[in-house]
Structure 1
């Protein structure tokens, strides 16, 4: 927004300091003059002129002295006020320079304002924290865009190769080509839908409703029971009524993703998945635990990043699109909750989602 030029804050502070100093000086001089009058050392003649009483000739120089004092206060106030205002506004100038640097695209710059804690330091620290989060978010978005471009390009490249083979070899079985194209197309659709869901959850464009996590857990388990039976994985659910506030569709997607991952990333034929819900100190807790191969702690920290499939634990026919836990993380944060992944000593993972519990109904 364009504004008309005005006085700088430093000049305004200088004038304020000077004005206050002159006012204080004038009040002091007025008090001294009033004291002299009260003591009878100064009187006025019939023409209104000041004159000294007998024996008090030393007060004759009061008026010139007062003028000199006021002049001194004026000069001292302007010079001292300008210097003090500059010292006081120095942190603001550093914050302004950092803001301009960030506006030009350099998010790695930090103010790191020295000194003890005060309002300016709090502002600078808050700005540094904002820059750090913004830099991390931008870096994450760039990685996501690069990974998404790569993932979306892969099925398109495969489809082009299949079509080129069919075009160069008319005797090729069309049924096999159609089946492979259908599989590639299905994967591209799943990836696109996952990206759209991730974007919608990240924008928090939903209306909060009362949701029972225990019912969502039962629904997800019932939906994925055939998949668990196919993999030979035992699926168990349990827990108390766990009221939370959020989007029923997104929270169901969160629960379904967790249960699906727990089934697929498991020990085929002998694996187990346990889904539980509980209400703890005003927090709605959803826990999904599965058996499986041991997972290194440093590997766990990367599983919620987009397109991290944990390929060392996944069979190639169920690699997915690599957005399952990324979607879970985004939905959890959009609901003001926390997501915790903990490797089990015996293998597998324990994933805990903590959401703000719904307030009890008022009767």
Structure 2
């Protein structure tokens, strides 16, 4: 009997295992092989690999520094914001840490204490409630296996199977499919692009440079011809001067967007949800790493206080995080309202007015 079984070894699950792994009997089940680079496209997280300031702050609070081999170039300090409807562009100062996301995930996973049992390339299949907790079923090496636990934690992302089994009728955050393509790129592009175009999506699209490669991505409605919308996005950006070389890779994944706090599901009884499985992700930017870290920390504190009441304790510990989701929804309204965004961008407030001419002089634009 385990104290805690964690389904999902991404940033949320790996962080929770690291925080409680020395004081509790823990099992982590992860569908990827986290000890080597993935070879299957569908195992790769659809994420540009930019660590935003909120996530940087959490890494600092954990006392963690990112190893050199995880970093990708260039390090970015500028966001190029493109508003298709008004045909406006602005540049804003931001500081992201540019990393290889897969190596970043494997590094976090490597920090799990040796006392924790780990099953990689294992697929979670289902659960049953028992008198003492929960019994889960998973498949490893083609064989069905079982594990009993006092507390089950779903850290299995936006399409969380644990969440669907736990509460199939609970309101879900809006689901998008994030599509990304990777292109060979000559020259330099020292900025991250954020593109607003309601003909493509009511969320946003992006470009991110990485060591001779340019990533183009978009969060799209699954039911609204996402492939066709992505092709149209690429055409529109080419018309704006973006030079996409040969496509060398593409991937996709579901992304959540909570429209209200009531779509966040902490868990119930002896099952808890953290990270995007619970709905913790920014509705304004889809930044999720800081929420993975903060929700894992909130649950770990509740577990250390009392394993038997950990779900209730976890909910209590996330009061500030729920307030953060409320604020990010207000921010999202301001960002995605055409009139408000036009007025802000037209005013040039907080923008870097001279950078466009400097980039043009250097041949980047």
Q: How does the TM-score come out when normalised to structure 2?
A: 0.20
Q: Based on CA coordinates, which of the two structures has the bigger radius of gyration?
A: 1
Bigger strand fraction: 2
Q: Which has the higher contact order (CA 8 A, sep 6+)?
A: 2
Bigger helix fraction: 1
